[in-house]
Amino acid sequence: MTASDDHKRIYQAIFENPPRADISWEQVLDLLRTCGVRLIENGGEDGQWIRVWCETRRANAILHRLEDQPCLSLLMVKAVRRFLITSGVQPPRNPNE
């Protein structure tokens, strides 16, 4: 499986209904970075706020990552989904397709 295949799998998981509770923060952040989304992370007592910004569409969102949670909450899955729709961000294409 290529990195691009993994990104597509995570992208598809974000849009599944009902929302999944096993989507890793690290995988989502890697997907967003690979898609050219700017991330600004700011730590706090109970976790960190992550501001995501898509320059081309002027779309942004604030995501709250709890310190002890490796996976997105269902609320954060929905927030990432809304951001992807609003920004038009798509997973990178595999050059072999």
Compute the average pLDDT of residues 65-90. Answer: 90
Would 95 be classed as within a structural domain? no
Q: Is residue 92 in a domain?
A: no
User: Containing domain of residue 63, as a range?
Assistant: 3-87
- Our count of domains for the chain comes to 1
Supply the pLDDT for residue 96.
59
d(CA 87, CA 94): 21
Answer for the pair 65, 35: CB distance below 8 angstroms, yes or no.
no
Q: Does residue 30 lie in a domain region?
A: yes
d(CA 43, CA 64) in angstroms, rounded, equals: 10
Angle separating helix axes 3-14 and 25-34, nearest 10 degrees: 110
CA distance 94 to 8: 9
In a domain, 8, yes or no: yes
18 has a pLDDT exceeding 90: yes
pLDDT of residue 16 exceeding 90, the answer is yes
